[in-house]
Amino acid sequence: MKRKICFLILAAALSGGAALFAQSRKDEKPEHRPAQKKDNLNRTDVRNRKQGLWFYEHDARMGEPHYYEYGSYIDDKKSGVWTKLDGDQRLMSTETYSRGQLNGISQYYEDGRLVCVGNYRGLYADGRYDSIWVTNPETLEDSLVAVPTELGYTKHGLWRYYDAGTGQLTREEEYQVDNLIREQEFSHYTRSDSLAIRKRNDNLPHNKKASARPPAGKRKSLIE
């Protein structure tokens, strides 16, 4: 029995606001199944190019988990935000595309919890190379760098990593055309650790309240 999935996000994106359901097609390969065509979903134009909103279900295969994927095409190329959900319909990723290449902010999740946010720079030139402005981290001088377009995209900009359990920022990385130019690690205390540190600091002599200090000329034993 095939599972049916209703996505409110898809419903909002389609004209008329009608709710859509995705169902497996028997005539497609089992590991990559587009949903049946309904209204504006999974459509192609007269040149057989994918257009508009598409939804896929990917079966578990060769170590890859079962997951769902949806987003939009323009002239057979991914465009805008594409979303992946795991078999339990929890977020796995949201990635931004332009002209079929990753370009812009992408977010990654573990068990539905955010663990990474980063930025890609897509490569679009019609020739063999694209040009990207980079800044020398030492001299702060800007220059153009030629990047082979066959790479498709590069890490370019700030990447942040988070602890899936606490949501706290653990690391920052900054890239220029896949080159790591800066990184920083962050340490965090648990709530109980923070309370213990605060209590210890409050008991230090220079942090004690004035009322706890002995009056001038009195012995220290007055407050012991």
**Is residue 56 within 8 Å of residue 66, measured between CB atoms?**
no
Residue that the structure tokens 């595309």 belong to: 97
170-180 per-position pLDDT tens digit: 999 999 999 99
Most confident of the following: 6-20, 52-66, 184-198:
52-66
Helices (H), 98-184: none
- To the nearest whole percent, how much of the chain has pLDDT over 90? 56
Identity (one letter) of the amino acid at 1?
A: M
Residues in CB range of 34: below 8 A, 6 or more apart: 25, 28, 42, 54, 55, 56
What is the per-residue pLDDT for 127? 84
> CA-to-CA distance for 181 and 118, rounded, in angstroms?
15
> CA-to-CA distance for 10 and 222, rounded, in angstroms?
73
CA 54 to chain centre: 21
**Is residue 83 within 8 Å of residue 56, measured between CB atoms?**
no
139-162 per-position pLDDT tens digit: 889 999 999 999 999 999 999 999
96-132 per-position pLDDT tens digit: 999 999 999 999 999 999 999 999 999 987 789 999 9
* DSSP one-letter code for 15: G
Please state the domain extents for the chain. 5-189, 190-224
0.75 exceeded by pTM: no
What is the per-residue pLDDT for 224? 44
* DSSP one-letter code for 13: H
